[in-house]
Every structure is written in C-alpha cells, then in structure tokens.
Amino acid sequence: MKKESKETAVLLIDCPDHKGLVHAVCDFVLTNNGNIINLGQHVDRTDNHFFMRIEWEVDDFTIPSDKIGEFFDTLIAKKYHMQWSLHFGARKPRMAIFVSKYAHCIHDILSRYESNEWDIEIPLIISNHDKFESLADRHKIPFYHFPITKENKANQEAKEIALLKKHKIDFIILARYMQILSSQLIDSFPMKIINIHHSSLPAFAGANPYKAAYLRGVKFMGATAHYVTEELDEGPIIGQDVVKISHRDSINDMKRKGKDIEKIVLANAIWSHLNHKILIYKNKTVVFD
Amino acid sequence: MKKESKETAVLLIDCPDHKGLVHAVCDFVLTNNGNIINLGQHVDRTDNHFFMRIEWEVDDFTIPSDKIGEFFDTLIAKKYHMQWSLHFGARKPRMAIFVSKYAHCIHDILSRYESNEWDIEIPLIISNHDKFESLADRHKIPFYHFPITKENKANQEAKEIALLKKHKIDFIILARYMQILSSQLIDSFPMKIINIHHSSLPAFAGANPYKAAYLRGVKFMGATAHYVTEELDEGPIIGQDVVKISHRDSINDMKRKGKDIEKIVLANAIWSHLNHKILIYKNKTVVFD
Amino acid sequence: MKKESKETAVLLIDCPDHKGLVHAVCDFVLTNNGNIINLGQHVDRTDNHFFMRIEWEVDDFTIPSDKIGEFFDTLIAKKYHMQWSLHFGARKPRMAIFVSKYAHCIHDILSRYESNEWDIEIPLIISNHDKFESLADRHKIPFYHFPITKENKANQEAKEIALLKKHKIDFIILARYMQILSSQLIDSFPMKIINIHHSSLPAFAGANPYKAAYLRGVKFMGATAHYVTEELDEGPIIGQDVVKISHRDSINDMKRKGKDIEKIVLANAIWSHLNHKILIYKNKTVVFD
Amino acid sequence: MKKESKETAVLLIDCPDHKGLVHAVCDFVLTNNGNIINLGQHVDRTDNHFFMRIEWEVDDFTIPSDKIGEFFDTLIAKKYHMQWSLHFGARKPRMAIFVSKYAHCIHDILSRYESNEWDIEIPLIISNHDKFESLADRHKIPFYHFPITKENKANQEAKEIALLKKHKIDFIILARYMQILSSQLIDSFPMKIINIHHSSLPAFAGANPYKAAYLRGVKFMGATAHYVTEELDEGPIIGQDVVKISHRDSINDMKRKGKDIEKIVLANAIWSHLNHKILIYKNKTVVFD
C-alpha cells in the first residue's frame, strides 16, 4: 500500500447521463498533459445517472493543482450539471476514532495504522469510556474521554465537534461506538462518519442484532459498514460481509464470529473511503474497486 | 444418493435437556439389536433443550417396525417428555409442487427428479397458471390448474387440499408460487410446506425483494427456504445463501443471480427435509448435516 | 435478459497501455454518432497492458455495420497495436454442447435455454454416449452420438469438427464431457471451448478431483470454468466458486454439493462468453461485469 | 469465551467403528456421576473409523481427575482399541508464537490475547528478526531473537526447543514465520505446531503463492491453517477460507485481501485447537464445532 512516487489527483464525478461524458473528462485531463493511471466509470441505467472516478499524475499537469477545481468546474462540470470532488494523494487523510468498550475494531484499526497499511493520520481517539486510554497512549494518539449522559449529551458533542474541527479531521470512524449521534454532530461531518453495524442491514437494525438473529434462527449473519445519517442504521451502505452459522452457534459463538467480520468489513470501508473510491447517490454507494 | 441396501429407521427427538438422554436412546436401539449408522445430537444451552437424530438398520431389530413407535414412546419418550417422530427409509416421501410462472425452481426440481438425485415420488403439480402443463406432461406428472381469484380462493384451496390428501402427499414445495396460502391449507400440512423466498429473511420480506434490495443499495442479496406458517415469510428458516452484488448490478442482474441461489437453497432444503434431518423448535430449525 | 430494442455493437480491445486510449476509442464512437451504453476498461499495471469493452447503439451510426471493423482497424487499432474483435447483438451466438453421462450441467443449460434466459441457438448436442438422446429430442435439438475409442478418436473428432463447422457453431460447451479433446478439435475452436472442471483449479487438476479433495481433507471444494487449451485443465480460468465442506462430508456428499456449484459456475461462464464480456491475455481472463 | 464456572474434562477419542461406542463412553461418564455438557461424534463411513469428543463436569465425578485417564484406558479404551487424549479446562494452554516480519497475524493474536478472547498463556515469542521486540515488550511477553542462517540453524533450533520445553509450551503458532522448520523441532512438538499458509492448499504450496495465483489468473484466493509435518505445506488442514478476486486485483491487492483471511483463519484454528476440538486421522482433521 505504498504511496505512488508521483503525485496524483482523484476526481469523483456524478451527473445525469449524457453522451460523451467519459470523453469530455478524459479530454480535460489529456489535453492538459495529465497521465491517467486509473479510470472507473458506471452508469445506473435505472436512473440514467453517471458516475466516474479518474486518477492522474499531476507532476506535469498544465493547470496548477490549486486551480484544477476551478478550471474543471468552469470548463466541464457546469456544462453537464456535475457534482464533483477533487482529492490529492499527497495529503494524508485525518481520521478520528470514536469507541466505547469493544476492543476488536479499534485493535484492528490501530494494528493497521502501526503497520503503515494505511497512509493516514489519526490525530485523536474519542470515547465515552476510559477503557482504551492506555491503548491510545501506547500508540501515542491523544485520547479524549467524554462521558455521555442524557443531560450532557448536546454539550459534550459540541465540545467533540470543536475538537474535531480544531484537528482538521476529515472523517470519523465509529469503531463500535455505543451512542447514537445527534444531528449537530452528523451535520458537521455529512457523509464523513462511518459506522459498523453488527448485522446484514436492513436485517436486525437497532440494538442487539445478534440476539435478534439468534431468536429468528437465521443461517447467515453479517456486518455492515455505512455512512451515518440521521435515520439510525439507514445511511448509505459501503460494504457488507456474512458468515454461515447453524443451530450449533450460541449467541456467544455468534458474537465471536461476528467480531471478525465486523473488523474486516470496517477496515475495507475505511480503505475505500480514504482512497476516494466511494460516490454517494440516493442513499446508496458506488464503490469503485 | 442411492438408498442403502439395508432398511433403516430414523428417529427425531426433542425434549428438555436431562442427564443421560443420549445414553437412554442408544440403549433402546442397541439392546434391541439395532445397528446405529448415524447419530446427531445437539443441546441448545440457552433453552436447555435437547435435539437428537438417530438412524439405525432395522433388519435384525427385535421390535417389529410397526411397533417401534409404541415401544419407544412407552419405554423412553414418556419418561423424558420427548417429542418424537419416526420415519422409515423404505417409504418414498410423496412431494407436491406448487408453481406459478417462474421456471428456474421447477426446472431444477424436475431435473433432479429425472436424474434420481432424490428418492421421492412427485404425484402431482398444482398451479394457478397453465404455463407449465406441458413441462409436467413431459415428466409424466399429473398437472392441476387451479386459477385463483379473491372470490374463489377458499373454494379452490379446499379442492387442492382434497387432492393432496387423496394423493397422500407428505410435503409441499412452493417453487415460486405467487399466492399467499390461507390458513386452511397451511393447517392441513403443518410444517410440511416449504417456501423459497428471494431474499435473506428477515430482510426484504413480502413482495418485490429484489427491487427493495436494489433501492436500499445492499452489497449482498440472498435466498431463504422456510416452512410456511400463517405469518407471511416468518416461518422457521431451513436454509439460506447469499451472493455478493455491487452497484454494477441492475435489478435484472439481481434477478438473474438470485434465481441461481434460489433454486440451490430450495433444493438443499428439500434434501434435508426428505432425509428427515430437520427438527423444529420455537420457530427455528435444527438441521443435522 | 431481454434483448435491448436497439441494435448494438460490442468492441473488445487489448493492447500495450498508452496515454489516451479510452479517449481515442470513445472519440471513434462518438464522432460517428454512436450512443455508448456500456464501457468497461482495465489496465494491468504489472504488464502495462490495456483492456477495453465498449458497447454502443449502431442504429444511427455513420459507419455501416459491415464497415465498422475496417474503419476501426485503419483509424485506431493499427496506431496503438490493438488486438480487437467486433460483435453484434442482433446475431444469436450458436452454441454446441458436448456431454457424456452426468445430467446436472446439461439439464441446467437446457432449462435456461427453454426459459429464454439466454439469447442463443443450440443447433446440436454431441455425446460419446446415447444417454441424453431422448432429452435432446424433447428439446428438439439434433443429437449426434459419437462413441469414442482409442482407435477411432481422430476419425470421430474429424467428423465432429465437420459437423460443427457445417452448423456454424460459434462456441462449444463441455458439459461434463468425459473425454480429453485432441489438438485438432481444440485448434479448430481456439478459445471457443469452455470446460467445467469439478475443483478449484489449479488444485486437483486431472481425474477424480472429489476423491483427491476428500483424501487431502480440504475444508472448501470448488468448480472452475475455463477455456480449453492443449494443456489439460491449464487454460484461462473464466470463473470459479467454492463451497464449504467438513469432515462430515463423504465423497458422495461432495459430489452432491459439487454438482450445484459446477452448473452455476458453468452457466455464469456461458453468460459472460455469449455477452462478449471476456478478454484473454497471457492465459488469464479479464471478465467485465 | 469465559471459562465455565464448573471444572470440566474433555476426552478426544478415535478408533475403528464398532457397535455401541457412544453408549459405552456415555456409560463411563454417567455411571461415575459426570454431567455431560457437550458431545460430538462422527463416523467416517469410508474408513469405518469412529471419532468422539465428550466434555463433562468433573466436580462430583466419582473418579478423581488424576485417575480418569487410567480408569478410562482400562475399562473402555483397551477394549475398543481407542486412541484417546484427556484435557482439563482448568489448565490454561501455553502457546508460543514464532514470527518473522509480517505484522498482521501477530497483531491479531496479541489483540485477542489482550482482550481475553482466549483463555491462554503466551509465555514467549520467538523470531528470526528483532522487528517485533518492542511489540512483545508492550504486551509484557518475553521475546527471543534467534537469527537463522544455514550454518546455525540446527544449533539455534536446539536452543529454541530447550526454551520451549523449559516454558512447558503446549503448542506453537507460526504467525507467518518465514523459515522451514527442521525435523528435530517438528518431532519435538508433533501435531502441536500450527502454520498459516497464504493459499488454499493444495493449490500454490511453497513460496510466493500470491504471485503464483496472480499468474494463474484464479478468481478466488485463500488461506489455510494446518499442522506442520515434515512434508512442507502437506500437514493436516485445520481450516481454510477464500476471498473472491478479479482481474482488477494486482498482487498488492491480493496481499492486502489475503492478510485479512490469513489472520482470521489462523485465529479460528487456534480457537479450535485450544478448546480441544480437533482430532487428527490419516493426515486429515475432524474439527468439532
């Protein structure tokens, strides 16, 4: 997962489908001396909506990096009513972790961080408990303990938002954070908060999905990574995985097996997000691979 | 899947857990000169409930086959408050198929039937359409066409029940039968009707699960075989399978991929049912393998 | 799987990677008034090799259909040293089936054929046994029986080739055909013969893979669809699937479970092939989805 | 995964199949006032070989724990030519880790250790590199650095064996240990050394399986946990898993995806081993679940 030696730009685009969209975007890059190293494109035929991800080397690009957005918007995006975002590989994404008391996801994330599997910064960990303070210390990541009660929730979240803004956080991972976020926090990081839910959504949304799955007697259980929106467990799904179970599995067995797919599904979602591979449209995702 | 050369009996048992249950049942079989060829056992630790499946050769069994049930009930079952059922391998299960207009499940079932993959009789096919009459003819299976309207439903189902009883049907497969059965039919064949639903229940119960899955943007879709109870899509789940999908899959792609897991999941459920491998308890199944 | 109402062309391309390839191909289609409805593109970074599949509506295309190949070759392909093939949706692919004595794959294929799941012609079935003659009759497909011995093999295959050529066969499916093809037949249909092997190649190539998998004690078994080349079981892999097994599975259980993934993997490979979604390079496939 | 409050014994048994084996073993436990809490049993019909795992509470058992083995051997095992082993839940298994330079498996193991997911002791970590010394320190596990060259290998391994014996190590995990063990070490811990291989064995045994899988163009890749025997990558397979790949996956993508299944497959194998759920027979495993 080493960074490429050359600096690259990633452009994520979506708009109503139209003849010549791929051509127009490629033309913009090639005419200005960009070397395309990745191109993903998808048309949703039901909605006639177009999605594109293009990555190119900007070392010899005619347009200076801080002007690319303006030029693309003026020359291409406006003409086709495109939504777009532009990202540069040189800037390390800054990720915050929210966690409560379950260890498997945060351990897995910090192991990858320590191994340089991901090219990111983790400027802080926030928790409503103090359980993982020493773990954070060990990884030299500042740890902030914000106990949450019904009464102090709005106040504590306001402090969290200020802290996140101060640290220029790009996106937030809820690594089994057992609190429902209020809209002030969600709205401050729209489509920038990723949650891991321990079921195959939409099955078993809400609390205690393992128990619910056990009682229903399902033969597969799952995990779902999704962006957090105001509707609980209803945000755009980034990734899912499942594991076969049987009557032999107790709720404890389900928890044990579930933890392993939760951490992998979450890690894959983080990987796609930080590589700017996800487009959101109509509460669904396009995840380029 | 050839029948064993020797005649066997299968006993399915469940009861509150108790010391010595396996021992007691084995003792009953061994003392009377039975040769155990399969033994499956499971204890649900949450409910402290015991499940057992035992299969033995009855050729030299001291108790005559038509008396085994009575003796087992008197000597063992009553003592431990067991629910039990007894099945003999020599008797071919008699299976009825209900179908509407989708071809994939009935084609798959009849292919297995023609190849002698299953040791069963299919005395009749019932449909609310006439689409598959020639298919039934070709396999020399009597085909009964019962068009269903809101007005005639009770009447038609009464005729269907009479027909099923007349043909001594053991169990019914709904091979994508697009009608909700009423309670008179369900109650006539309790836990003897298997439906295939084209989603990973409990997700996307009811009509149009593929469309609902498409709109929700899930990354896995599934199929579920379950026993039919009065609550629609709420009966005990026998088996499930899933297939990975992505934003590239249109609803048509989902239907295409879904059909393949539907037919396999249904076939596996039929196989478990006809081999007397399924026990039902608290709206869940224990499926011995 | 209905055919689109408008006539389309599919162009499959591969060549050494080069700046502007997507642009050049899109330009060719758009400049001549083609409406692109599908575009898939991939660059293998290890080999710096470029792959593309583009499908467009040709109703209003400026270049007449029988001239598209010539124009594309002259204007684009030669310049970039492209390998390419051109296909038209209006022409139904003509598929031959070779089969021996296993029923599951041929049953599955003919079920899909009968349900119009695939838009193909099956002009003939060839077998070294007469077992499926009545099945072929029932589907009104001419059946040719070519018993094979060591002595008559070359002669029989020569007749088969003549027959296949006479019927303008586009591609051949070995639906569990238990004979090794000789090079004269393989060379007559290069990368046009698809075999289904009952293991996850390269594991358990050759005869009796289920027995070998049983003896090795693997916990997953698989099926592989691949193009046939002169090296047995070594051709480009189109698709694979696996199924979990355990110590409980006898060789018979493995066969039963294996048959279900074999037929699905084979059907998926056929679907990709007949929709011109497969490119072959260095004994591997790019399968656009 | 908390230990049960009551002390338990686990008996693993295998022998030629015989009438009444389950009965005889249950009789031994029940007659002596044991409360069976788990019973798994399997007969391999191909070899007519019997396998059994039985776990019971020994608090009120008539035979003292240190005499159970002797009594069982005399009264039951000799009669039926049983191989057996006896384990007590109260004794924490002592596990050694061997590691080289890959972080994902050792990180995952130590995370589970830290979270008390497993009820074990890890008295030491051995490595041919010093990379993970600080990681070991952080978890307060003694770390031993044994650089290996062709010349010193026998000598270093002799020291390792002495160290392992001194620490009363029960079993060894090769957490991506990039050295082939010599027979002196393997023979000192027969069927007590678990390796994780980064392919679906028997496919791609030996070095560089990801590269080999990439070159062959497979559509699934896998990981295999197995006991180490003198034949490289040929020992009894404990568990496997696979992940779907496509032409889009570079060797680096394969490594990234592979690491996640490697660590999960290895963790599952450890879990089965330390819970005494594995029986080995004819270079295969029976893994009770």
Option in B103, B248, B289 nearest C111 (CB)? B103
Helices marked H in D16-141: 21-31, 65-72, 78-80, 104-114, 133-138
What amino acid is encoded at D135 in this protein?
L
What is the C-alpha to C-alpha distance for residues D131 and D99, in angstroms, rounded to an integer?
Answer: 9
Torsion over CA: A155, A157, A162, A167 (sign): positive
pLDDT at A4 over 70: no
- pTM confidence score: 0.96
Question: Per-residue pLDDT tens for B194-216?
Answer: 999 999 999 999 999 999 999 99
Q: Which residue of B has its CA nearest to D17?
A: B37
pLDDT tens track for A100-153: 999 999 999 999 999 999 999 999 999 999 999 999 999 999 999 999 999 999
Q: What is the pLDDT of residues C52-101, one digit of tens each?
A: 999 999 999 999 999 999 999 999 999 999 999 999 988 899 999 999 99
Angle at D237 between CA D232 and CA D238, to 5 degrees: 135
Q: What is the dihedral of CA C116, C119, C124, C125, to 10 degrees?
A: -60
The tokens for B94 are: 């008699």
Give the least confident one: A37-51, A162-176, D162-176.
A37-51
What is the complex's ipTM, to 2 decimals? 0.94
Q: Which two tokens stand for residue A144?
A: 């902030």
Beta strands in B34-103 (DSSP E): 35-44, 49-57, 83-88, 94-99
Asked if D26 lies within 8 A of B22 by C-beta distance, the reply is yes
Q: Mutate which of C1, C114, C260, C275 to disrupt the B interface (most B C-beta within 10 Å)?
A: C260
Strand pairing of C171-174 and C94-99? parallel
Distance in angstroms (rounded) separating the CA atoms of residues C237 and C202: 10
Residues D185, D188, D194, D197, CA torsion sign: positive
Position B201, amino acid: L
Angle at Cα B249 formed by Cα B245 and Cα B253, nearest 5°? 100
Enclosing H/E stretch for D278: strand D278-281
Using a CB-CB cut-off of 8 Å, the residues of chain C touching A22 are 22, 26, 36, 39
Q: Which residues of A touch C30 (CB under 8 A)?
A: 19-20, 23
Q: Which of B14, B108, B233, B249 is catalytic?
A: B233
Q: Which residues pair with C171 in a beta bridge?
A: C95
Nearest CA in chain D to C241: D220
Q: Would you tell me which CATH number, out of the four given (3.40.50.170, 3.30.2010.30, 3.40.470.10, 3.40.50.80), belongs to the domain D94-287?
A: 3.40.50.170
Report pLDDT digits (tens) over D184-226: 999 999 999 999 999 999 999 999 999 999 999 999 999 999 9
At residue C5 the predicted structure's pLDDT band, cuts being 50, 70 and 90, is low
Quick one: pLDDT at residue C45? 87
Catalytic residue among D14, D108, D170, D233: D233
Nearest alpha carbon to residue C102 among C189, C198, C217: C198
A129 CB-contact burial (10 Å; exposed 0-12 / middle 13-18 / buried 19+): middle
Q: Indicate if the pLDDT at residue B5 is higher than 80.
A: no
Which of B45, B248, B285 is opposite residue A250, by nearest beta carbon? B45
Contact A13, A25 (CB under 8 A): yes
pLDDT in tens, D131-146: 999 999 999 999 999 9
What span, in angstroms and rounded, lies between the C-alpha atoms of C168 and B170? 49
| Distance to chain A for D166, nearest Cα, Å | 31
Neighbours of chain B (3+ CB pairs under 8 A): A, C, D
pLDDT tens-place string over residues A189-233: 999 999 999 999 999 999 999 999 999 999 999 999 999 999 999
Query: What share of chain A has pLDDT > 70, as a percent?
Result: 98
Find the mean pLDDT for residues D47-75.
96
Interface test with C, best of A6, A8, A26 (most C CBs within 10 A): A26
How many Å apart are CA B63 and CA C54, to the nearest integer? 73
B240 touches B265 (CB < 8 A): yes
Catalytic residue at A249?
no
Q: How many interchain CB pairs under 8 A, C with D?
A: 85
Q: Which residue has the tokens 């599951």?
A: C104
Q: Give CA torsion, residues A71, A73, A78, A80, to 10 deg.
A: 100
Chain C contact set for D287 (CB, 8 A): 246-247
A-B CB pairs within 8 A amount to 87
Q: Mean pLDDT across the stretch D145-154?
A: 96
Taking one residue from A and the other from C, the number of pairs with CB-CB distance under 8 angstroms is: 33
* Separation of alpha carbons D112 and A41, rounded Å: 40
What is the homologous superfamily of the domain C8-88 according to CATH? Answer: ACT domain (3.30.70.260)
pLDDT in the model for residue A188: 97
Distance from C-alpha of B165 to C-alpha of B172, rounded to nearest angstrom: 11
Q: What is the pLDDT of residue B289?
A: 86
Distance from CA of D27 to the nearest CA of B (A): 7
Burial class of residue A203 in the structure, from the number of CB atoms within 10 Å of its CB (0-12 exposed, 13-18 middle, 19+ buried): buried
Helix (H) or strand (E) holding A254: helix A251-274
At residue D118, the 3 state secondary structure works out as: coil
pLDDT in the model for residue D1: 41
Q: Indicate whether B2 pLDDT > 70.
A: no
Quote the crossing angle between the two packed helices A251-274 and D251-274, to the nearest 10°: 160
User: What's the CA gap between C150 and B48, in Å, rounded?
Assistant: 64
Q: What whole-number distance in Å separates Cα of residue A41 and Cα of residue A286? A: 10
If one compares B164 and C4, the residue with the highest pLDDT of the two is B164
Write b or e for each residue in D26-65: b if 16 or more Cβ atoms lie within 10 A of its Cβ, otherwise e: bbbbbebebbbebbbbbbbeeeebbbbbbbbbbeebebee
Q: What are phi and psi of C143, to 5 degrees?
A: -115, 130
pLDDT for residue A177 is more than 50? yes
Q: Which chain C residue's Cα is nearest to B288?
A: C248
Q: Which of D208, D247, D254, D287 to mutate against chain C (most C CBs within 10 Å)?
A: D247
Determine the residue among B200, B244, B277 to mutate to test chain A binding: the one whose Cβ has the most chain A Cβ atoms within 10 Å: B200
Domain coordinates of chain A in residue numbers? 8-88, 94-287
Model confidence at C245, pLDDT cuts 50, 70, 90, reads very high
| Contact status, residue C36 vs residue C109, Cβ threshold 8 Å | no
Looking at residue C245, the DSSP 8-state letter turns out to be -
Mean pLDDT for C161-190 is 97
Chain D residues within 8 Å of chain B (Cβ atoms):
19-20, 22-23, 26-27, 30, 35-39, 41, 43, 244
Cβ distance A200 to B218 less than 8 Å, yes or no, reads yes
Question: Has residue C283 got a pLDDT over 60?
Answer: yes
As a whole number, mean pLDDT of residues D92-103 equals: 97
CA distance D171 to D194: 8
C-alpha to C-alpha distances, D203 to C257, C283, D214, D218, nearest whole angstrom? 20, 17, 12, 10
C-alpha triplet B270, B134, C3: angle, nearest 5°: 90
pLDDT at res. A3: 45
Residue A6 above 90 pLDDT? no
DSSP secondary structure letter of residue C117: -
Q: In the prediction, which pLDDT does D5 show?
A: 58
The distance of D82 to chain A (nearest Cα, Å) reads 27
Q: How far apart are CA B22 and CA B41, in angstroms?
A: 8
Q: Stretch D147-176: mean pLDDT, rounded?
A: 97
What percent of chain D lies above the pLDDT cut of 90? 93
pLDDT tens track for B256-267: 999 999 999 999
Q: What is the pLDDT of residue B1?
A: 40
